[in-house]
Structures are given as structure tokens and as C-alpha cells.
């Protein structure tokens, strides 16, 4: 039986801390087991990516227990800050770093150079790594996230049910979305923000003040993190996903929206265009705008809300794109192929 040791941050299954990286880690661990791998999970405690000495020692001790020649998949949140732990094991083990988001730090370069392979979660991330780090091209792979099949969202006549999913932090740009929405008059829109509210409490407090603007009051709702049936209901009740992120390596929420036939209005950053993709006829299932520009975002939202013909076109395109999305079983198969190649 093929074996892989997986080092992941502690708490990836905590519903209070949902993230794309956590979902990816869980789904591929389960997927590899379904493919016949013996998966040995080691959840590493610590304040990643800022571990203390004890957390670093724990990773070293965990790696030391892996037999010679063992295949080890290490989440990039861990690997990128402990090159001094990985380097002594690089000749003995087959280390594979699963990199969800580059940190652009010297420690990360050293960690990736020590690894037998790096798995990026988008073509955009792979290009970024090769452009910024001196990594051998044949050791950097791409395994994109999958998405679960879902029922089509029914959609409303007005198109005014806006949904934003992601941790409430500056990088996700909710302040930019609020600024844009404050200038969108007319249709009876509402915007629901779904995501963790405790990662940057001072920032969230500022957002709540911003949302008290008379132009936004009673039209904006912060739900906190949602999972399972509650998250499904949020998608089912939405008309469009809005993403104002200032940095995304892929944007799993984009494909989650498309899986329900929801068009996407998003900032054109990182791997978002890759996740959005195209319908079979080549058309985009959404609108991309310049990042960091609330005026451009507002124009796109007015276009969505004010033109029923455009809404119908985008909904049809999103429905077509929905049929081309890959599932998590495909993601697991692709990762399994990488691990098998590295393990020899």
C-alpha cells in the first residue's frame, strides 16, 4: 500500500476558521485515502506562520519518525517558515510542499529548494514561483482545487441578492466593496458578508462603522463564518458572488459560486481569472474589474443590477461553465500522481 505522511496546521477542521487551504487539505487527505493511500495525518500545533520554538521542534520530531524514503506532504503554511527543519531531512525523505499562498520570503525559498517537489494550486501561482524563486521547473506542479456539485441557485428577478464569502480581513477587500456599494443607487440590493470576524477585530470594527453609512444601513449583513447547510443556504439565496480581494492565488469561492450557476463580479487578481474560466463558447461567466478600484467595482455592480439582459446572459454563461468544473476526486487523482512520481 502506498503511504504518505501529511503535516497540516492544527485546527483545519475547526468550523470557526474556514479557509480555502483548510478545505483543500481535508479534501485531498480524504481523497488520497479513497484512492488506496495510507494517509498518516499529523496536525501541528502552533501559531502558524509564526511558530514558537516548541512548534518547530515538534515538526522536526515528526519528520524524524518517518522511515527513510518516506513521502511527506507538508502544508506550505508550515513548510515556508521552517527551512532549517526541512533541510536536514531533504536527502532522507521525499518532501512535497503543498503551497496555497506564497509568502515571498527568503525562508520560503529555502524550504522549497529543500523539497523534492512543490505543488501549487493554480497556474498563476506556479508562474509566480518560477518568476520569483530560482526553482527547477520540473519540480513545480499544479493541482487545482475541486468543487462539489450543487443545485442551481434559483435567482431573483432583480438580481439584488449579493454575496461576499471570505475572511473579513483587509486582503479580502470588504472595505472596497462597501465603498463601492455606497454609490450604487436604484435597485433594492442587499449584500451578505460571510466570513470570520475575529481575525482582525480592529478592522472589523472599522467596517461596522463604515456600514452605518445611511446609504448602506439595513442593506449589509455580516454573518460570521458559515459551513455546511448554512453556507449552502447562503449560496442558494444569492444572485451573484462579489469578490473584492486584493490578492488570491485561486479563489475557491469563485468555483463554489459557479457550481451553483452564480455569476461572479470580482477583482482581476492572481488566480481569480483562472478560477472564473470560460464557458465552452469562450465567454466569461462574470465581470472582472481592476483591483483596488471601488469605482470600477461600482460600475460593474450597476451593470449587473441595471441590465436584465446582461444578467440573463451572465447567468446562462455561468450555467454552462458549471458543467466544466472539476471535482475533488480529480484533484486527489492529480495529487496522487505527483506523490507517486516523487516517491518513485
CATH number at residue 237: 3.40.50.2000
Check whether residue 98 and residue 80 sit in a common domain.
Answer: yes
Confidence of residue 121 (pLDDT cuts 50, 70, 90): very high
Which residue, among 197, 153, 167, has the nearest Cα to 322 in the 3D structure?
Answer: 153
Check whether residue 235 and residue 290 sit in a common domain.
Answer: yes
Number of C-beta neighbours around residue 242 at 10 A = 29
Check whether residue 179 and residue 318 sit in a common domain.
Answer: yes
For residue 156, is it within any domain? no
pTM for this model (two decimals) = 0.95
For residue 155, is it within any domain? no
Check whether residue 138 and residue 170 sit in a common domain.
Answer: no
Confidence of residue 186 (pLDDT cuts 50, 70, 90): confident
For residue 307, is it within any domain? yes
Among 6-15, 145-154, 331-340, whose mean pLDDT is lowest? 6-15
Check whether residue 331 and residue 318 sit in a common domain.
Answer: no
Give the total number of structural domains in the chain: 2
For residue 153, is it within any domain? no
Q: What is the reported pLDDT for 141?
A: 98
For residue 151, is it within any domain? no
For residue 154, is it within any domain? no
Check whether residue 119 and residue 177 sit in a common domain.
Answer: no
Mean pLDDT of 178-197: 94
Q: Between the CA of residue 191 and those of 163, 180, 221, 241, 318, what are the distances in Å?
A: 6, 12, 6, 10, 20
Mean pLDDT of 144-164: 96
Mean pLDDT of 241-246: 97
For residue 301, is it within any domain? yes
The residue range of the domain holding 243 is 161-322
Q: Which helix (H) or strand (E) holds 235?
A: helix 228-236
Per-residue pLDDT tens digits for 10-53: 988 887 788 899 999 999 999 999 999 999 999 999 999 999 99
Amino acid at each position: 500500500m502506498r503511504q504518505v505522511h501529511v503535516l497540516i496546521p492544527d485546527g483545519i477542521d475547526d468550523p470557526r476558521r474556514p479557509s480555502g487551504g483548510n478545505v483543500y487539505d481535508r479534501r485531498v487527505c480524504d481523497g488520497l485515502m479513497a484512492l488506496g493511500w495510507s494517509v498518516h495525518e499529523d496536525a501541528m500545533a502552533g501559531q502558524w506562520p509564526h511558530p514558537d520554538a516548541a512548534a518547530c521542534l515538534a515538526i522536526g520530531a515528526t519528520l524524524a519518525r518517518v522511515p527513510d524514503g518516506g513521502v511527506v506532504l507538508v502544508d506550505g503554511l508550515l513548510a515556508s517558515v521552517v527551512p532549517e527543519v526541512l533541510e536536514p531531512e531533504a536527502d532522507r525523505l521525499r518532501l512535497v510542499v503543498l503551497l496555497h499562498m506564497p509568502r515571498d520570503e527568503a525562508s520560503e525559498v529555502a524550504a522549497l529548494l529543500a523539497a523534492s517537489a512543490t505543488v501549487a494550486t493554480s497556474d498563476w501561482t506556479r508562474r509566480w514561483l518560477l518568476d520569483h524563486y530560482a526553482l527547477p521547473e520540473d519540480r513545480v506542479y499544479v493541482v487545482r482545487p475541486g468543487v462539489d456539485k450543487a443545485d442551481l441557485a434559483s435567482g431573483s428577478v432583480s438580481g439584488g441578492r449579493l454575496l461576499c464569502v471570505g475572511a473579513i480581513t483587509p486582503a479580502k477587500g470588504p472595505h472596497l466593496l462597501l465603498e463601492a456599494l455606497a454609490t450604487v443607487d436604484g435597485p433594492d440590493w442587499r449584500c451578505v458578508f460571510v466570513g470570520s470576524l475575529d481575525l482582525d477585530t480592529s478592522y472589523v470594527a472599522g467596517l461596522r462603522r463604515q456600514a452605518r453609512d445611511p446609504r448602506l444601513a439595513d442593506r449589509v449583513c455580516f454573518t460570521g463564518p458559515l459551513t455546511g447547510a448554512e453556507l449552502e443556504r447562503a449560496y442558494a439565496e444569492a444572485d451573484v458572488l462579489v469578490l473584492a480581494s486584493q490578492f488570491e492565488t485561486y479563489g475557491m469561492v469563485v468555483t463554489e459560486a459557479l457550481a451553483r450557476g452564480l455569476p461572479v463580479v470580482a477583482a482581476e487578481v492572481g488566480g481569480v481569472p483562472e478560477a472564473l474560466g470560460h464557458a465552452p463558447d469562450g465567454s466569461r461567466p462574470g465581470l472582472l474589474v481592476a483591483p483596488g478600484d471601488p469605482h470600477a467595482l461600482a460600475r460593474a455592480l450597476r451593470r449587473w443590477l441595471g441590465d436584465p439582459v446582461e444578467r440573463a446572459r451572465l447567468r446562462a454563461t455561468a450555467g454552462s461553465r458549471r458543467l466544466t468544473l472539476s471535482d475533488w476526486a480529480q484533484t486527489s487523482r492529480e495529487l496522487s500522481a505527483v506523490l507517486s512520481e516523487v516517491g518513485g
